[in-house]
């Protein structure tokens, strides 16, 4: 179900769907970073997963983040960079939320 949730949010094999949660997230991320969307950020990570259907294989699952996965590594790096916690609205929390059918973390 995680891959379908990501696609339902507007991250699809043909790109980000206009007027979707994905386009809203992309717009917010671009404004926050001065006009661009960073590689490894929530938008690019989710779009890659939506295009390839790789949510589960990346470690973002309906029961949480899988140990030893790409998601686990991203979470660890993000927590280290933020003094031990994963920030709301960061890559890990946003991707995990959307993969579970949520609306992602707000910045």
* Res 14: pLDDT: 94
pTM for the structure as a whole = 0.82
Supply the DSSP symbol for 64: E
Q: What are phi and psi of 20, to 5 degrees?
A: -95, 175
**Nearest-CA neighbor of 89 among 80, 78, 73, 76?**
78
Cβ–Cβ under 8 Å, residues 37 and 30: yes
Type and span of the H or E element at 27: helix 21-32
pLDDT in tens, the chain (107 residues): 588 899 999 999 999 999 999 999 999 999 988 988 888 889 999 999 999 888 878 998 888 899 999 999 999 999 999 999 888 888 888 989 898 888 876 54
* Res 1: pLDDT: 59
């Amino acid at each position: 179900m995680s891959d379908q949730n990501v696609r339902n949010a507007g991250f699809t094999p043909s790109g980000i769907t206009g007027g979707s949660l994905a386009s809203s997230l992309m717009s917010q991320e671009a404004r926050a970073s001065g006009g661009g969307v960073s590689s490894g950020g929530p938008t690019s990570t989710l779009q890659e997963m939506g295009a390839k259907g790789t949510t589960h294989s990346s470690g973002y699952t309906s029961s949480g983040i899988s140990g030893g996965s790409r998601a686990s590594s991203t979470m660890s790096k993000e927590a280290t960079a933020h003094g031990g916690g994963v920030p709301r609205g960061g890559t890990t929390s946003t991707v995990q939320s959307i993969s579970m059918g949520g609306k992602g973390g707000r910045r």
